[in-house]
C-alpha cells in the first residue's frame, strides 16, 4: 500500500471522465489499497481515483469511522425533495469551502474486488460524499456546482494562489 499525493485543480486528470474497470487485476487491487490508505486521515471524507492520478472509476470514503471503497459506482437514487446547502470543500481544491447544494440522500451501486454488488448510500455528509466522488469520476469538480457569485469568488481566489 502507498499513501498517494493528491492531484490539484489544473491537472487534466481531474477534468477527464474515468474509464470503467473491466477486470480486477493486481493494478486495481493496488489502487484500492492506495485509495483506502490515502483517505484514512483526519478531515478526509472521500477520495476518487483520479484525485491520485488514476483515471479509473473507483472511490473510497471515510465517514463517521467507516472506511470503504466501491468500483464502477453509478448514482441510482437521489432525494428529490430534500436538499442540503452546506459548505463543501475538496482535497483537489485545497483551502476553499463554499455552499454547495446537493441532494440530502444519495445511493450508488457498484462492485467490490470480488465482483460482488456494493450499495453505498447515506444522508447528510455521506450523501454529499457519494455525489461529490461520483462527480469526480465524471470529470467534474464541486466548483462546477457553485452559484455564479461563489464560482467567480472561487476562481478569483484560485488565480490569486496561482492555481
CATH code at position 105: 3.90.45.10
What is the structure's pLDDT at 2? 78
Q: How many domains does the chain have?
A: 1
Q: Does 155 reside within a domain?
A: no
Q: Does 46 reside within a domain?
A: yes
Q: Does 79 reside within a domain?
A: yes
pLDDT of residue 104 exceeding 90, the answer is yes
Q: Does 147 reside within a domain?
A: no
Q: Does 6 reside within a domain?
A: no
Q: Does 16 reside within a domain?
A: yes
- Residue 142 near residue 90 (C-beta atoms within 8 A): yes
Confidence of residue 4 (pLDDT cuts 50, 70, 90): confident
- Residue 96 near residue 13 (C-beta atoms within 8 A): no
What is the structure's pLDDT at 14? 98
Can you give the residue range of the structural domain that contains 79? 12-86+101-140
Q: What is the pTM of this model?
A: 0.95
Q: Does 160 reside within a domain?
A: no
Put residue 151 in one of left, alpha, beta given phi > 0 → left and psi -120 to 50 → alpha: alpha
Confidence of residue 162 (pLDDT cuts 50, 70, 90): confident
Q: Does 161 reside within a domain?
A: no
The sign one gets for the Cα dihedral 76, 139, 64, 33 is: positive
Please list the active-site residues. Answer: 133
Average pLDDT over residues 29-39: 97
Amino acid at each position: 500500500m502507498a499513501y498517494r499525493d493528491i492531484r490539484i485543480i489544473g491537472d487534466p486528470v481531474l477534468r477527464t471522465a474515468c474509464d470503467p474497470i473491466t477486470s480486477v487485476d493486481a493494478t486495481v487491487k493496488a489502487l484500492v489499497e492506495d485509495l483506502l490508505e490515502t483517505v484514512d486521515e483526519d478531515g478526509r471524507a472521500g477520495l476518487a481515483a483520479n484525485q491520485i492520478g488514476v483515471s479509473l472509476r473507483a472511490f473510497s470514503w471515510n465517514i463517521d469511522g467507516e472506511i470503504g471503497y466501491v468500483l464502477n459506482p453509478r448514482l441510482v437514487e437521489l432525494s428529490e425533495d430534500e436538499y442540503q446547502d452546506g459548505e463543501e470543500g475538496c482535497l483537489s481544491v485545497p483551502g476553499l469551502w463554499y455552499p454547495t447544494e446537493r441532494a440530502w440522500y444519495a445511493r450508488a451501486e457498484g462492485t467490490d474486488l470480488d465482483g460482488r454488488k456494493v450499495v453505498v448510500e447515506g444522508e447528510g455528509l455521506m450523501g454529499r460524499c457519494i455525489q461529490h466522488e461520483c462527480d469526480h469520476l465524471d470529470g467534474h469538480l464541486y466548483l462546477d456546482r457553485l452559484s455564479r457569485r461563489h464560482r467567480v469568488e472561487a476562481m478569483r481566489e484560485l488565480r490569486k494562489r496561482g492555481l
